[in-house]
Chain A
Amino acid sequence: MLEIILTKKESHTVIQLNGEVDASNSVELDQAIQAVVAEGTKKILVDGSSLDYISSAGLGVFMSYLEDFQDNEIAFIIFGLNDKVQNVFHILGLDQLITIETGQDEALARLYEA
C-alpha cells in the first residue's frame, strides 16, 4: 500500500509518502514526481517519515530524475527516513547522490540556505 500526498507551499512542494514502495506501485511515485516537476517547482521535498519500505523499483524512480533535477536546477531533498529505509539508500551509496536530511526543519534549512 502506498499513499502519496502532494502539498504545495509558497515556494516548494512536499511529496509525502505513506506506506511501502515496490515494483507494484513505483509508477505512482514516478507520476507524482513528474507532475511536480511539470508544474515548474524548483524546490521539492520528499517526506519519508511514514515510508515503511522501499525496493529498487522506488530507488530507480529517484535515480531517473537526478539528471533532470541537475539540468533544471531543481533542489530535491528527502527527509525523515527511518533507519531501515535509510540503510537501503546507503547500501547502494545513493545517500551520496541524493540529499537526505533527518527532519523537515533540517530539510527546509537546507532548501533555503542559499
Chain B
Amino acid sequence: MKHWQDYMRHELDLACEKTRLGELRSFLSGVLEPKGLSDIVQNQLILAVEEVCANLIIHSHGCNPNDTIKLRVTDDSQKIIFEIYDSGEAFNILEYQTPDLSHVIKEKRKGGLGILLVKKIMDKIEFESKNSQNVCRLVKQLKSK
C-alpha cells in the first residue's frame, strides 16, 4: 500500500492567524527536508511561502481564524511548486509594486519587504483568480548536480 506522501504532494490547511506561521514553517521543513537542499535554500523557500501566506492572512483575511488558506506543495526532479489557495479579496502579487528600499526607510513603514523577498527567491510566480478562488503559484527550479 502506498502512503500518500509517496506521491510527493503535500497539503496544509492553515487558519488565518499570525500565530499559525510557526506551524506553517514546521510543515514546510518536513516537506523540504528530504529534498537535500542546502540550509540556506531551504530557509529561503520557507520564507517566501510564509511571506505570501502572512500577506494573505493579514491583508486579505484580516487575521480571521475562521478563514483558512490552503497550501499545496508538489515537486518533481526539476522543480518544486508551492500553490497557495484562498478565497479572500484577490491579492495579485504580480501587480504589486515592490517598494524602493529608500522609501521603506524614509516612510518608516514596516511592511512591503515580504513580496520583494518572494520575487528575489522564486524563479516563477503566477497568480490566477477564478470564481473568487485565488491561487498564487510559486515555482523554484532545482539545480541539477
B69 within 8 A of A: no
For residue A84, which residues in chain B have a CB less than 8 angstroms away from its CB?
A: 39-40, 43
Q: Is the interface of A mostly helix, strand, loop or mixed?
A: helix
State the CA gap A111–B128 with chains docked (Å): 50
Determine whether the beta carbon of B112 is less than 8 Å from that of A60: yes
Interface size of B by CB at 8 A reads: 30
- Name which residue of chain A comes closest to B120, CB basis: A91
What are the interface flags for B106-122 relative to A under an 8 Å C-beta threshold, 1 for contact and 0 otherwise?
10111111101100110
Q: CB within 8 Å of B: which of A59-89?
A: 59-61, 63-67, 83-85, 87-88
B58 CB contact (under 8 Å) in A23, A63, A87 = A23
A63 CB contact (under 8 Å) in B22, B51, B105, B114 = B105
Q: Between A and B, how many residue pairs show CB distances below 8 Å?
A: 88
Q: Which 7 A-B pairs have the closest CB atoms?
A: A60-B110, A56-B114, A24-B18, A56-B113, A84-B43, A64-B108, A23-B54
State the CA gap A11–B54 with chains docked (Å): 38
For residue A23, which residues in chain B have a CB less than 8 angstroms away from its CB?
A: 18, 21, 54, 57-58
A92 within 8 A of B: yes
Determine whether the beta carbon of A53 is less than 8 Å from that of B108: no
B113 CB contact (under 8 Å) in A22, A66, A92 = A92
Q: Please give the distance in Å from B19's CB to the nearest CB on chain A.
A: 5
B120 CB contact (under 8 Å) in A30, A65, A92 = A92
For residue B110, which residues in chain A have a CB less than 8 angstroms away from its CB?
A: 26, 30, 57, 60-61, 63-64
For residue B111, which residues in chain A have a CB less than 8 angstroms away from its CB?
A: 56-57, 60
A101 within 8 A of B: no
For residue B47, which residues in chain A have a CB less than 8 angstroms away from its CB?
A: 53, 55, 88
Please report A residues at the B interface, Cβ cutoff 8 Å: 1, 20, 22-24, 26, 30, 53, 55-57, 59-61, 63-67, 83-85, 87-88, 91-94, 97
For residue B112, which residues in chain A have a CB less than 8 angstroms away from its CB?
A: 56, 60
Q: Please give the distance in Å from A2's CB to the nearest CB on chain B.
A: 10
Given contacts A59-B113, A63-B104, A67-B108, contact A91 B54 (CB under 8 A): no
A97 CB contact (under 8 Å) in B39, B51, B101 = B101
